[in-house]
Amino acid sequence: MKVLVTGANGQLGQDLVLLLQKQGHEVLGCDRQEMDITDLDQCIQVIAGFQPDAVIHCAAHTAVDAAETDIDAAYLINAAGSRNVALAAEKTGAKLVYISTDYVFDGKGTKPYHEYDNTDPQSIYGKSKRAGEILVQSLSSKYFIVRTSWVYGKYGNNFVKTMLKLGQEKPLLQVVNDQKGSPTYTVDLAGFLLELIQTEKYGVYHASNSESCTWYEFTQAIFAEAEDILGLKFTAKLEPCGTDQFPRPAPRPGYSVMDHLSIRTNGFQDIRPWREGLRDFLLELKE
């Protein structure tokens, strides 16, 4: 297959490009230099020039707190940019994968959100990503919308790397214990996306590692596994705390566990539990 990846220098994009190449697909990885998604003409030109079978759209404005004040930038990239990619993909007849987020829900639930639950984003980031979903659904005849959560991987900055660092530097580490979700390892997500684009099972998917935890429980697991796998010694005393102790400009979902209804009903194998993904990530760091 010929696959074009936007946001190819991001943490998911880099793993995706590597996996696609390893599996023998022809890949065009685009970052802002190669294709500015906010420029419709450029999107049409680049995508028409490559003639991909599928476009995996990872590029996004993901600075959740900054988006609260820079509203235009969030919508320019997440809404208008996604429209541009969708239009250009549609013109060449390519399948389109739009990477979305758990932030499209209100985060006030108590049971896992499935794909057809009503969305109700509370932050500008969530609202702009939802706007992107709506545009993709309106403009593409062959789309997959894939919502994911708590993403981490070898490339770029993320929660796991931050905790590994702080755990060795700080005497005390307070981590929120009242936000629950599912961590997602980029390699596992990339594997699912690769499987998805080889089908015509279009629609909305929730794709995270299975099972759930709080950020505090995630940190406990990071420390335990890193001591075992990497032989690290953590000096920090780990303490649970509430979201209210860390006020942020953008509201964080209290509950963002997602049910993988579409994965099951479309006959895909579910993504493995998050702790297994975490272990493999630490083994990858070790290498």
Taking alpha carbons only, the member of 132, 116, 138, 146 closest to residue 54 is 146
Amino acid at 56: I
User: How many Å apart are CA 14 and CA 1, to the nearest integer?
Assistant: 18
Long-range contacts of 163-167 (CB under 8 A, 24+ apart): 163/219, 163/222, 163/223, 164/222, 164/226, 164/232, 166/236, 167/219, 167/222, 167/223, 167/226, 167/232, 167/234, 167/235, 167/236, 167/238
- Residues forming the active site: 125
Q: Assess contact for 11 and 34: CB atoms under 8 A.
A: no
Pair 248, 176: CB distance under 8 Å: no
- Token pair 């194998």 is found at 269
Give the CB-side neighbour count of residue 231, counting CA atoms within 13 A.
Answer: 1
Yes or no: say if 104 and 206 are a contact pair by the CB < 8 Å rule: no
Partnered with residue 214 across adjacent β-strands are: 180
3-state secondary structure of 68: coil
Q: Is 108 exposed, middle or buried (0-12, 13-18, 19+ CB in 10 A)?
A: exposed
